[in-house]
Amino acid sequence: MEKILDKFKEFCMQPYDRAVEWKDAEPNRKVIGCIPMYFPEEILHAAGVLPVTLYGSDEPITMGEHHLMNNACHQVRSTFDSLLKGKYDFLDGVAALHVCDQVRFFLEVWQLDHPFPFFHEMWRPYRLDNTNRPFLTSELKRLISHLESFTGTEITIEAIRNSIGIYNESRYMMRKLNDIRRERPGIISASDMVCTVTSSMLIPREEHNQLLRELLSRIDNVLTPEDQRFKMVIIGHLCDAPDEGLLNLIENEGLSLIDDDFITGGRYYAVDVNPDGDPIESFADYYMNMIPCTTYHYVDCWRGDSDKYSPYADYTIDMLKKGQAAGIVILRAMYCDPFDMEFVLLRERLKEENIPFLALFIEKGSGSMEAVRTRVQAFVETL
């Protein structure tokens, strides 16, 4: 198991090496970078393209700052920095779903300043209900025809269904791994869990599935000593992959992270796409059934006497109860406004329900780990 986890870690450390290798192995192979979150990778896969998700990097941002406001979130600034440093030169295109205004604006700058052969922005209404479902399906159709004209080949329904199957299997295995972590805390560290999920978005999915299958077949033989730490769920950090060092610090200071809602975690594998039926409708369902997310607008929030209504808080509290966790660690990515807005409601609910929580303001590459350590230790002392 260790060996497979090390492999996942290697993929995360050299995020694009495998994609470049894959591309160079045969002529005319294409790699498209996806901006997190929620881009329908299956459709790219069905077009024979390798999708890789572009998480920025931990490097100091030395070029990205000049092109964007410095109150853009780290994920956006760091991705732009990587672009300017030439790290995405191997890509044939970029695809993104508009999860928030920051993504939208930075893509506009990207497209103007650094056009790629394929550039696709997909609109997902912030508020999803049956009135705007036709718009969402038209966006999915637009993506398919754009890809078809880019690759010169038709994307058949069978191909999409096949890809959905491969991605569903991937999600299923990740869910299974997470269930095991919830039942046997300490069997896999939070940082290994994040690497497992993140690496799936960097290499051909079939290869990742093979590794994950092997990992699951061996996990039953792994012994875990009794975990004395407090069980916690960890949430937030929207589009960025959380820092490995930070997760290790939290776990080393007496908290055992047993579940999360990261996009490099629970959020990514929570919902499957229906493999039968019309794929377009299945993807529309996927977006409509997504677990509560701060980049969605819920009509009933902030309205009259239901101003405390927060599906996100409900979801988080359910996660806590399911894992019988003692509390919640919240990673607030600096300058992520969708999360900050929701945080207000979430905090109120957690206080009302007397749920211990620790909210940490995180900006990758800045701030002192020692200051974080003090906060984590102090939180543990209150439990």
Interface residue list for other proteins (CB under 8 A): 351, 361, 366-368, 370-371, 374-375, 377-378, 381-382
- Residues 278-297 touching ligand SF4, rule: CB under 6 A, are 295
Number of Cβ within 10 Å of residue 154's Cβ equals 10
Name beta bridge partners: 125. Answer: none
Asked if 54 touches ligand SF4 (CB under 6 A), the answer is no
Residue with Cβ nearer other proteins (135 or 361): 361
* Exposure class string for 167-181: b at 16+ Cβ within 10 A, else e: bbbbbebbeebbebb
CA distance 22 to 12: 16
Report in angstroms the alpha-carbon separations of 318 from 101, 293, 323, 327, 345. 29, 14, 9, 12, 16
In whole angstroms, how close is the CB of 361 to other proteins at the nearest point? 5
DSSP assigned state of 292? P
Please identify which residue in the block is written with the tokens 């479902």: 133
Asked if 73 touches ligand SF4 (CB under 6 A), the answer is yes
* Exposure class string for 317-342: b at 16+ Cβ within 10 A, else e: bebbeebebbbbbbbbbebbebbeeb
Residue 76 touches which of other proteins, ligand SF4, none (Cβ within 5-8 Å per kind): ligand SF4
- Contact pick of 94, 99, 233, 319 for ligand SF4 (by CB under 6 A): 99
Report the amino acid identity of residue 124. R
- Residues 103-132 touching ligand SF4, rule: CB under 6 A, are 103
Asked if 100 touches ligand SF4 (CB under 6 A), the answer is yes
Stretch that binds ligand SF4, among 87-95, 99-107, 129-137, 343-351 (CB under 6 A): 99-107
Residue with Cβ nearer ligand SF4 (169 or 337): 337
Report in angstroms the alpha-carbon separations of 362 from 17, 157, 237, 241, 371. 28, 42, 8, 12, 11
In whole angstroms, how close is the CB of 44 to ligand SF4 at the nearest point? 20
Residue 238 touches which of other proteins, ligand SF4, none (Cβ within 5-8 Å per kind): ligand SF4
Residue 193 touches which of other proteins, ligand SF4, none (Cβ within 5-8 Å per kind): none
Nearest to 18 by CA among 118, 47, 104, 10: 10
Residue with Cβ nearer other proteins (208 or 332): 332
Residue with Cβ nearer ligand SF4 (144 or 194): 194
Report in angstroms the alpha-carbon separations of 244 from 12, 189, 193, 197, 349. 10, 10, 10, 13, 29
Residue 351 touches which of other proteins, ligand SF4, none (Cβ within 5-8 Å per kind): other proteins
> What would you report as the CA-atom Rg of the chain, rounded to the nearest whole angstrom?
20
Asked if 333 touches ligand SF4 (CB under 6 A), the answer is yes
Site string for ligand SF4, 294-313 (x = CB under 6 A): -x------------------
Kind plus residue range of the DSSP H or E element containing 315: helix 311-322
Binding residues for ligand SF4, rule CB under 6 A, total 15
Residue with Cβ nearer other proteins (222 or 378): 378
In whole angstroms, how close is the CB of 178 to other proteins at the nearest point? 30
Contact 31, 92 (CB under 8 A): yes
- Contact pick of 53, 78, 82, 102 for ligand SF4 (by CB under 6 A): 102
**Positions in the binding site for ligand SF4 (CB under 6 A):** 73, 75-76, 99-100, 102-103, 238-239, 295, 333, 336-339
